[in-house]
Amino acid sequence: MPTQSTSPHLPFGENKNADWYGKDILSVKQFSRDDLEYVFGVAHEMRGMVERVGTFDLLKGKILANLFYEPSTRTSSSFTAAMERLGGSVIPISEVKYSSVSKGESLPDTIRTLECYADVIVLRHPETGSAAIAAKAAKKPVINAGDGVGEHPTQALLDTFTIMEEIGRLDNLTVTMLGDLKYGRTVHSLARLLSTFTNIKLNYVSPDILKMPKEVMEEVGAKNIPQAEFASLEKILPETDVLYVTRVQKERFEDPADYEKVKGAYVIDPEIMKAAKKDMIVMHPLPRVGEISTDFDDDPRAAYFRQMEYGLYVRMALLALVLGKA
Ligand code: NCD
């Protein structure tokens, strides 16, 4: 794990995990515990390098195509920052309406085009499975930056890295996920990824219509991870080490009336948080739309802004990994 790194120069220049060279990152299911420890070790080194020198030339001359068919602030800009801090450059395509997509170009053709110009492609797309379709079309690595309600693997990697850096362990944890567990792709990836660790307990708190999908619960259950579902947070907040809050995903509802019923179902505020441990953390992939009161922001347990910064280091690590430089 990060703090056990044996050399300040590790792992740059080492080809230890050349397994990842040229590979796509589509799902957290690709990551073993060893892989995670390796990625976090690299991310930790990236953090040190950014703090010491800001920008360096590990990926000089490499080009990233950042292709976003859905809105994004953090994921898109942190991939851009990650590439540029490593000395590489970026082709940003976030207004697909100004690209040939609006002329009816298919995703595979757009991907084939971009890989002529770039070394790696980051893709966010509204359809589940789109990243896999893109990866099939591409020879260059494709990184899934969110495929509809499917997965958001780089977010889950940065989420677990956040837990590691903030709490110092990934085993022996009670993690409570709250909010829209049905449409929230971040929690689908995070629950799967946490099931790689030992003595993890997962609590799911959601309105009845926004429960964690059965498929995810079955996969996690197959790893013997205890999971429990709740309608309210009260009972389990005191035992929680990590409270992972999510936004109700308005854009994914088929019936807007359903959204109206569940929006604002939970609001975390300083009063509620009196019942929580002193050394726990509150995370959120952001954006928030009212589910965490801004009154809580100054509490040391509010880790969601720090979490964004950890995302930069993890994405730097992932880019270095798939481009063969870590
Ligand atoms: C999340 C996403 O896009 O799934 N945002 C992010 O990447 N940080 C969460 C969300 O949109 O609610």
Determine the Cα–Cα distance for residues 268 and 242; give it in Å rounded to an integer. 13
Query: For the residues of 264-318, what is the DSSP string, one character each?
Result: TS--B-TTGGGGS-TT-EEE--S--SSSB-GGGTTSTTB-HHHHHHHHHHHHHHH
pLDDT digit string (tens) for 56-105?
999 999 999 999 999 999 999 999 999 999 999 999 999 887 788 888 99
The Å distance, Cα 249 to ligand 1 centre, comes to: 9
Find out whether 198 and 36 touch, Cβ atoms under 8 Å.
Answer: no
277, burial (CB in 10 Å: exposed 0-12, middle 13-18, buried 19+): middle
When the candidates are 3.40.50.1370, 3.50.50.60, 3.40.190.10, 3.30.420.40, the CATH number that belongs to 153-308 is 3.40.50.1370
Given this model, what pLDDT does residue 102 score?
82
Determine the Cα–Cα distance for residues 224 and 161; give it in Å rounded to an integer. 22
Residue closest by Cα to atom 12 of ligand 1: 247
The Å distance, Cα 10 to ligand 1 centre, comes to: 32
pLDDT digit string (tens) for 245-268?
999 999 999 999 999 999 999 999
Q: Is 125 in the pocket of ligand 1 (CB under 6 A)?
A: no
Q: Please state the pTM of the whole predicted model.
A: 0.93
CATH number at 16-151+309-322: 3.40.50.1370
The pair of structure tokens assigned to 278 is 């002193």
Residue ranges per structural domain of the chain: 16-151+309-322, 153-308
Q: Do 16-151+309-322 and 153-308 come out as alike in CATH topology? A: yes
Closest CA to 91 of 108, 72, 114, 110: 114
Does residue 14 have a pLDDT over 70?
no
254, burial (CB in 10 Å: exposed 0-12, middle 13-18, buried 19+): exposed
pLDDT digit string (tens) for 155-170?
999 999 999 999 999 9
The Å distance, Cα 13 to ligand 1 centre, comes to: 33
